[in-house]
Structure 1
Amino acid sequence: MLGKTSAMYKETQHFRQPWLWVLLLGSLALVIYRWQPISVGIMAVVMGLFWFLRLETRIDQEGIAYRWFPFQSAYRVIKWSQIEQATVRSYSALGEFGGWGIRFSWNGTAHTVSGNWGIDIKLKGKKRTLLVGTQHPDEIRQQIGSEQLAGS
C-alpha cells in the first residue's frame, strides 16, 4: 500500500491553447497601438497570470486532489470516503459550464483548462457534482477504478 505522501498519478495542465494566446496578444497589440500605459500594464499582468496559472491534479490512496497554482498553495483533497461515485467522462466546457477555468452551473462546479475530458465526482449526500478536467482519461480511469475499490 502506498504511503500518504506518494502519489499514484499526477497531472499538470497549463493554459497553452493557441486561440487564447492569439486573443491575449491581439489585445496587447491593440492597447500598445493606442498607447494606454495602464491598459498595457493590466494586459501584461493578465498574460503573466495565464502563463503561470496551472491546474494540478493528484490521485493517491487518500483520494482525488486538485489545486490552482499559484492561487492555492495546498491541494483541495476529496477523500475516497467522501466520494459516492467518480467517473471519467467527456463534457462540453462551453455547453455545460460556459467556458474553462473555475466554472459554476446548476449541475455542479468544473475546474478545467482545456479539452473535453474530466473526472466527474459525485460526493455523498450532495446533488451537484465536481468535475476536474484531464488530458489523460485512460490513465485516470485505471487509477480511479483501482483506488475506489481500495478506498471504499
Structure 2
Amino acid sequence: MAKFIFRETQRFNQTWIWAILVLVTGITFYGIFTQPVEGWDIIIPIIILGLVFMLFVSLQLKTRIDENGLSFSYFPLISQRKYSTDQIKKLELIEYNSLTKFGGWGIRFNFAMWGYNVGGKHGLIVTLKDKKFLIGTQKPEEMQKAIKQFEELKSA
C-alpha cells in the first residue's frame, strides 16, 4: 500500500475578520487624528493595532498525518506537537459548528477538549490515552484517507 501523507496549512482568510480589523483600525485612526492627542496617546494604539495585524497575518495551523503519527502546530502560539501512532487511540472526522461547540475560532477549550481551528465546519477529533482534542480541517476528503491509513496501520 502506498503511504498517504496528509498535509494542511490553514490561515485566517475570512473576509469578515479582516473587515472587522480594518474597521477598528479606521475608527482608531479617525479618533487619533480628529482629537487633540499627543505622544504616547498616539503611539500606544498604533503599536497595539500593528501587533494585532501581525498576529493575524502570521497565525497558521499546520497539520500533518503520516505512517509515523500526527503532528500539528499553531504558529506562533503553539510549537509543533507530535503524537506517534502508538500514542493515538482513535482519529475521528466530524462535522461541527465551532461557534456553538467551542465559542468561536482559534485555540479554544470547551471543558471537554481543546479545539484548534481557523474556520470551516470539519474537524479531526484525536483521542489519546488521557486526553482528546480537535484540529479543524478544510480538507475532509483527504483527512478521511489519512484516517483510513491510520486505522489500517493500527490493525496491522
TM-score over 0.5 (shorter chain): yes
Contact 1:80/1:148 (8 A) holds in 2:
no
For residue 114 of structure 1, give the secondary structure of its aligned residue in structure 2: coil
1:6-62, Cα deviation, whole Å (9 max, x unpaired): 981210000111110011111101110111431122111101110111000001111
Could you tell me the TM-score, scaled by structure 2's length? 0.86
1:38-88, Cα deviation, whole Å (9 max, x unpaired): 112211110111011100000111111100123445x20122111221111
AA partner of residue 45 (structure 2): S
Change in CA separation of 1:7 and 1:56 when aligned onto 2, cut-off 3 Å? farther
AA partner of residue 23 (structure 2): G
Within 5 Å, give how 1:36-55 maps onto structure 2: 36-55=42-61
Which residue of 28, 32, 39 maps to 2:29?
A: 32
Task: Name the count of aligned residue pairs.
Answer: 146
Higher Cα radius of gyration: 2
Partners of 2:77 and 2:108 in 1: how far apart?
16
**Corresponding residue for residue 106 of structure 1:** 111
Unaligned runs of 5+ in 2: 33-41
2:7 pairs with 1:10: yes
Partners of 2:136 and 2:78 in 1: how far apart?
17
Within 5 Å, give how 1:3-152 maps onto structure 2: 8-35=5-32, 36-73=42-79, 75-124=80-129, 126=130, 128-152=131-155
Contact 2:7/2:64 (8 A) holds in 1:
yes
Partners of 2:84 and 2:116 in 1: how far apart?
17
Cα RMSD after superposing both structures:
1.9
Contact 2:4/2:146 (8 A) holds in 1:
no
Contact 2:4/2:149 (8 A) holds in 1:
no
Unaligned runs of 5+ in 1: none
Instruction: Single out whichever of 134-143 and 79-88 deviates more from structure 2.
Output: 79-88
Could you tell me the TM-score, scaled by structure 1's length? 0.88
1:82-113, Cα deviation, whole Å (9 max, x unpaired): 12211111111110111111101122010000
For residue 34 of structure 1, give the secondary structure of its aligned residue in structure 2: helix
